Amino acid sequence: MLDLLNLIGGEYREAQNGTWLDNIDPATGQIFARIPRSGKDDVAAAYTAAESAFPLWSRTSIEKRAACLRNLAHIVSQNAEALAQAESQDNGKPLSLARAVDIPRAEKNLAFFAGAIEQFPSEAHIPAGPTHINYTHRKPIGVVGCISPWNLPLYLFTWKIAPALAAGNCVIAKPSEITPVTAWMLSQWIEEAGFPPGVFNVLHGLGPEVGQAIVEHPGIKAISFTGGTSTGAHIARTTASMFKKLSLELGGKNPAIIFSDCDFDAALATTVRSSFANQGQICLCSSRILIEDSIYDRFRDALIEKVKRMIPGDPLDEQTKMGAVVSAAHRDKIIQHIELAKSEGGQLLCGGGKASAPNNRCEDGFFVAPTVFENLGANCQLNQQEVFGPVITLQRFYSEDEAIQLANATEYGLAATIWTTDLKKAHRTAARVESGIAWVNCWLVRDLRTPFGGVKASGVGREGGWEALRFFTEPQNVCIEL
Ligand code: NAD
Residue spans of the domains in the chain: they are 2-250+458-481, 254-447
For the chain, the farthest-separated pair of C-alpha atoms sits apart, in whole angstroms, at 79
Q: What is the mean pLDDT of residues 119-144?
A: 93
pLDDT in tens, 245-276: 999 999 999 999 999 999 999 999 999 999 99
Closest residue CA from atom 31 of ligand 1: 228
309: confidence class by pLDDT, cuts 50, 70, 90: very high
Q: What ligand 1 atom has the least distance to the C-alpha of 252?
A: 34
Q: What is the pLDDT of residue 136?
A: 97
Q: How far apart are CA 111 and CA 113, in angstroms?
A: 6
Out of 226, 282, 327, 337, mutate this one to test ligand 1's pocket (max ligand atoms within 8 Å of CB): namely 226
CATH fold of 254-447, please?
A: Aldehyde Dehydrogenase; Chain A, domain 2 (3.40.309)
Whether ligand 1 lies within 6 angstroms of the CB of 153 is answered as no
Closest residue CA from atom 19 of ligand 1: 212
Whether ligand 1 lies within 6 angstroms of the CB of 211 is answered as yes
Q: What is the pLDDT of residue 127?
A: 84
| Residue 181 predicted with pLDDT over 90 | yes
Closest residue CA from atom 37 of ligand 1: 250
pLDDT in tens, 96-116: 999 999 999 999 999 999 999
| Residue 34 predicted with pLDDT over 90 | yes
Closest residue CA from atom 40 of ligand 1: 249
pLDDT in tens, 270-306: 999 999 999 999 999 999 999 999 999 999 999 999 9
Whether ligand 1 lies within 6 angstroms of the CB of 215 is answered as yes
The residue ranges of DSSP E strands in 26-98, in sequence order, are 30-36
Catalytic residues: 249, 283
Span from the CA of 178 to the centroid of ligand 1 (angstroms)? 11
Q: How far apart are CA 174 and CA 35, in angstroms?
A: 12
Span from the CA of 148 to the centroid of ligand 1 (angstroms)? 6
Residues with Cβ within 8 Å of 402's Cβ and at least 6 positions away in sequence, in order, are none
Span from the CA of 406 to the centroid of ligand 1 (angstroms)? 26
Q: What is the CATH number of domain 2-250+458-481?
A: 3.40.605.10
Out of 148, 158, 174, 231, mutate this one to test ligand 1's pocket (max ligand atoms within 8 Å of CB): namely 231
| Residue 130 predicted with pLDDT over 90 | no
pLDDT in tens, 141-173: 999 999 999 999 999 999 999 999 999 999 999
Q: What ligand 1 atom has the least distance to the C-alpha of 232?
A: 2
**Topology alike, domains 2-250+458-481 and 254-447:** no
Closest residue CA from atom 33 of ligand 1: 251
| Residue 1 predicted with pLDDT over 90 | no
Spell out the alpha helix ranges (H) of 348-456.
Answer: 400-407, 423-432
CB-based contact 400:290 (threshold 8 Å): no
Helix and strand counts by DSSP (H, E) for the chain: 16, 23
Span from the CA of 352 to the centroid of ligand 1 (angstroms)? 26
| Residue 129 predicted with pLDDT over 90 | no
